[in-house]
């Protein structure tokens, strides 16, 4: 496959974290986004971080930091749009900042099972994980239009564009999200 850009989605409000920037919360002594960065970096050629706060802290990673082009934290699709707009590659792999155990080969598996689809996302035994996705840059204009219309449903957009899920692992633990302060303390994760 040609060069790939990876984007860590860290631009949310952190409501379930009491308003804290989730990506910067310490998990096992390391900021959450850095766990994701360690797993994503070997899978792509370039890593960017989509963030809307604490930009200087994310920039200390050495990655380019991009922010939503839309106001009021409209969700992961806004981060995906910013990633598609900023990418210089045809394909962009996305991963949320709260999945510290994301499989180290999920991007390759998405690409391998993409067929002709312009969008694919990860699936585990229990459910879909649409924020772990591979999107073609041609989706930039349809996504911008979708968001302009006030739509925010990630799975709906991906399906409307002809995308499909790819089963990455039967092990749901690989896709566990760290969403709350209790999750940060839960060593069973």
What's the confidence (pLDDT) of residue 80?
96
Is 68 known to sit in a ligand binding site?
Answer: yes
Is 22 known to sit in a ligand binding site?
Answer: yes
- 33 three-class SS: helix
- For the segment 9-41, what is each residue's pLDDT rounded down to a tens digit? 997 655 555 567 889 988 888 999 999 999 999
- For the segment 83-116, what is each residue's pLDDT rounded down to a tens digit? 999 999 999 999 999 999 999 999 999 999 999 9
Give alpha helix (H) positions in the chain.
32-40, 55-59, 76-86, 106-112, 140-148, 154-160, 181-185
Angle formed by the axes of helices 140-148 and 76-86, nearest 10°: 140
Gyration radius of the chain over CA positions: 15
What global pTM score does this model have?
Answer: 0.92
């Amino acid at each position: 496959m040609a060069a790939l850009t990876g984007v860590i989605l860290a631009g949310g409000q952190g409501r379930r974290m009491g308003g804290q920037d989730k990506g910067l919360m310490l998990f096992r002594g390391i900021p959450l986004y850095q766990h994701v960065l360690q797993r994503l970096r070997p899978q792509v050629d370039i890593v960017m971080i989509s963030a809307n706060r604490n930009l200087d802290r994310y920039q200390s990673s050495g990655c380019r930091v991009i922010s939503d082009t839309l106001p009021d934290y409209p969700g992961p699709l806004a981060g995906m749009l910013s990633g598609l707009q900023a990418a210089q590659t045809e394909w962009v792999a996305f991963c949320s900042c709260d999945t510290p155990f994301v499989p180290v080969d999920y991007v390759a598996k998405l690409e391998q099972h993409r067929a002709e689809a312009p969008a694919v996302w990860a699936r585990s035994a229990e459910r879909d994980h649409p924020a772990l996705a591979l999107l073609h840059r041609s989706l930039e204009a349809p996504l911008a239009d979708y968001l302009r219309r006030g739509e925010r449903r990630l799975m709906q957009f991906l399906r409307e564009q002809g995308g499909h899920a790819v089963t990455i692992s039967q092990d749901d633990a690989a896709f566990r999200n760290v969403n709350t302060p209790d999750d940060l303390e839960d060593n069973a994760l």
